[in-house]
Amino acid sequence: MTCRICGAELPAGAMFCGECGSSTSATPESRRRPDPRPGDTTAIERPTRQSSGVISIPVDGFHAARPIGEPGEAEQPIALTSPRFVLRFSTGETRTVFGAGLIGRRPMPQPGEVFDHLVQIADRTLSVSKTHLEFGEHDGVLWIADRFSGNGTIVRRPDDGAMRCEPGRRYLVPRGSRVELAEQHFTVD
């Protein structure tokens, strides 16, 4: 009998390998540890920890550059004309956002996804999912889409009742609306 891990010869009836210490039932596959790294290896520079409940992390790519004057002169950023939305969170924090983004306890884009904002909510109860929802803009109105969160998302529009969001579907959220993320919420101004 031989060890399936190191190939050492084992006496009959051995339960462990004398060379590597592995169980005789161990296989190379059972010894392989899962890769702890996320699938997305994009480096995101995060600010130092704050005691606040919401952190907005801008991601590169929301300014375009264009040359000025003659070749060789410095390039200047062109600001986007996307409308701005103010999100007022139940934690007391306020974030101004534009374009697209993710909101959650620790929002992470999927490989190939690019967002202007990653808005992090400190939720000690863990009722908010790591990547709870996605937001964006359509014709000057904010939209949200639940990212298959554990506790779901509810939208309360000023002129309408409460509506539970179906995961993966976009919902328009006009200014004055309240978006509930489990035990946390924010209003859109």
> Residue 151: which CATH number?
2.60.200.20
24 and 63 part of one domain: no
Q: State the average pLDDT over residues 39-53.
A: 49
Domain that holds residue 81: 50-188
Looking at the fold, whether 157 and 124 belong to one and the same domain comes out as yes
- Asked if 114 and 59 sit in the same domain, the reply is yes
Residue whose tokens read 């190191």: 6
pLDDT in tens, 2-15: 988 888 999 998 98
Residues 85 and 154 occupy one common structural domain: yes
In a domain, 44, yes or no: no
Q: Report the alpha-carbon distance of residue 88 to residue 179 in Å, rounded.
A: 10
Question: 0.75 exceeded by the pTM?
Answer: no
What is the arithmetic mean of pLDDT over 167-183? 94
Q: Strand pairing of 170-173 and 162-164?
A: unpaired
Is residue 79's pLDDT more than 80?
no
8 and 73 inside one domain: no
What is the pLDDT, as a whole number, of residue 69?
46
Is 41 part of any domain?
Answer: no
Q: What is the mean pLDDT of residues 177-184?
A: 95
pLDDT at 137: 93
pLDDT band (50, 70, 90) for residue 60: very low
72, 26: one domain: no
Domain match, 112 and 177 both: yes
Q: Is 40 inside a domain boundary?
A: no
What's the average model confidence in pLDDT over 160-170?
A: 91
C-alpha pair distances (Å), 69 with each of 64, 66, 144: 16, 10, 41
Task: Give the model's pLDDT for residue 68.
Answer: 43
Count of domains observed in the chain:
2
Q: Is residue 148 part of a domain?
A: yes
pLDDT of residue 38: 58
* One domain for residues 73 and 164: yes
* 45: in domain: no
Is the domain of 92 the same as that of 182? yes
Q: What is the pLDDT of residue 35?
A: 62
Using alpha carbons, select from 128, 139, 134, 147 the residue that is nearest to residue 174.
Answer: 139
pLDDT for 26 equals: 84
Shared-domain flag, residues 96 and 13: no
Let me know if residue 165 belongs to a domain: yes
**Cβ-count burial 117-131 (b if 16+ within 10 Å, e if not):** bbbbbbbeeebbbeb
Domain identity same for 167 and 115: yes
Q: Using one digit for the tens of pLDDT, what is the confidence trace for 83-121?
A: 899 999 998 999 999 999 999 999 999 999 999 999 999
Is 77 found in the same domain as 145? yes
